[in-house]
Amino acid sequence: MADILATMVKQQIIHTIKALPNRHKWMVAVVSLIVIIFAALPSEPARASRQTKSVELELGKRYTLDVQPTVVVTEEQLEDTTKQDWQSYIVRSGDNLAKIFAKAGLSPRDVHHVSRAGKDAKKLLKMMPGETIQILLDDDEQFQALRYPFSKTKTLVIEHNSDLYASHIEEKAISKRLDFATGDIKSSFWNAGVKAGLTDNQIMSLANIFGWDIDFALDIRDGDYFNVIFEENFVEGEFAGYGDIVAAEFTNQGETFTAIRYKDGNYYTPEGRSMRKSFLRAPVNFKYISSSFKPRRFHPVLKRWKQHRGIDYAANTGTPVVAAGDGRVIKATYDKYNGHHVFIQHGEKYVTKYLHFSKRKVRKGDWVKQGQTIGLVGRTGLASGPHLHYEFLVNGVHQNPRTVSLPKATPIASKERDEFLALASNYQTQLEKNRRIMLAMNQ
């Protein structure tokens, strides 16, 4: 009887094991072995003592068996029994992989293999205090795996299989939702951004988006206004930081600028024009280049060698000179060296300079558009003949206007236009809704 019961239990266990995932089979095998041992032993001793003689079972005859109820193990319970025992180590100041492995009882040889487990393993060189390293050892206390969550969404995983050490990055899915912030500027743009709940990075991003149209150092006034829609990132339901600004509008001195972010990562006006402005290579209709950009040139008036940090375009006196790009006039005056001259600031990085005008057409503080006339060719100051001396500066450094890499201002692609316009319309509706909400809250 005990043999038959053991056989039946064994067959049932084999069937169950085949249906389980591989990682659960070893645990079930252990449990099965224990069940078989107990099944083979006499159960219910008092009942067995009432048997007066042995019973022979006949082949093909049906018998009623007194079998104890089967204990059902749920998937969750089985998962709990097979969880791997990861050991966690908090990175301290001065720690490196070797020190952490030493705490885990691992050898320098293990450090060598793990640190060379593919290009992703190099992230272990950038561990910061307060971060966590998880290490898994096998039954022989040998290295089996490592986990290093280096961001809220990404974890470095290094595994040892046979003689191979391999690394890869596990990435959690990010869900996004939109939030908004608005602000009226009273004292400074920065203070208004902080009061609206924007982070330092968001305030800087907003300034960069509108930096081609607004000088945030000199042009901000009390009463200016901003309205921003931005992303919030969530991982497994927990807040994981801010994403991109997807739409924004900024009213400066009564003029409103609007920017929409498209899936290419660039910002455009609602009509599809790039927020980044390009430049004209030559801001004047010239006859020829009378002097190029060069480190040393013999000055025709000073009669000595000196650096020539721009390009001279020879043209007739009175030929219109136009702004190479949108910007603000930061200087418009006369001196004995440059004659009548105009300097224009374009965003935060770029400045263009125009020298030797016969007449200026703009004043300091004026906003100019690309192609707008700002002066007329002349020969005032240190000039041997009528020409425009044109300079181009990037972050304060002179560059050759003819060869400098200029920011692109490509409008939205025609094939993307319909999709972009639909997106822009939706964001503009949300911006308008945000304005109404804030207006109602402030009343």
What does the pLDDT look like over 196-207, one tens digit per residue? 999 988 998 998
Q: What is the mean pLDDT of residues 375-386?
A: 91
Which architecture characterizes domain 87-171 according to CATH? Roll (3.10)
Q: What is the mean pLDDT of residues 321-343?
A: 94
* pLDDT above 60: residue 272: yes
Q: What is the pLDDT of residue 14?
A: 58
Q: What is the pLDDT of residue 440?
A: 80
Which architecture characterizes domain 176-275+410-443 according to CATH? Roll (3.10)
Q: What is the mean pLDDT of the chain?
A: 82
What does the pLDDT look like over 93-102, one tens digit per residue? 999 999 999 9
Q: What is the pLDDT of residue 25?
A: 59
pLDDT higher at 214 or 192: 192
Q: What is the pLDDT of residue 424?
A: 96
Domain extent listing, the chain: 2-44+58-81, 87-171, 176-275+410-443, 288-399
* pLDDT above 50: residue 338: yes
Q: In the block, which residue shows the tokens 């069937």?
A: 15
Cα(225)–Cα(235) distance, integer angstroms: 33
Share of the chain above pLDDT 90, in %: 49
* Least confident window among 14-23, 37-46, 83-92: 37-46
Q: What is the pLDDT of residue 51?
A: 35
Q: What is the pLDDT of residue 57?
A: 43
What does the pLDDT look like over 41-68, one tens digit per residue? 554 443 433 333 334 445 445 545 454 4
Q: Are both 176-275+410-443 and 288-399 of the same fold?
A: no
Q: If you classify domain 288-399 with CATH, what class do you get?
A: mainly beta
What does the pLDDT look like over 236-253, one tens digit per residue? 888 888 999 999 999 998
What does the pLDDT look like over 72-85, one tens digit per residue? 445 454 444 345 68
Q: What is the pLDDT of residue 50?
A: 35
* pLDDT above 90: residue 39: no
Q: What is the pLDDT of residue 439?
A: 78
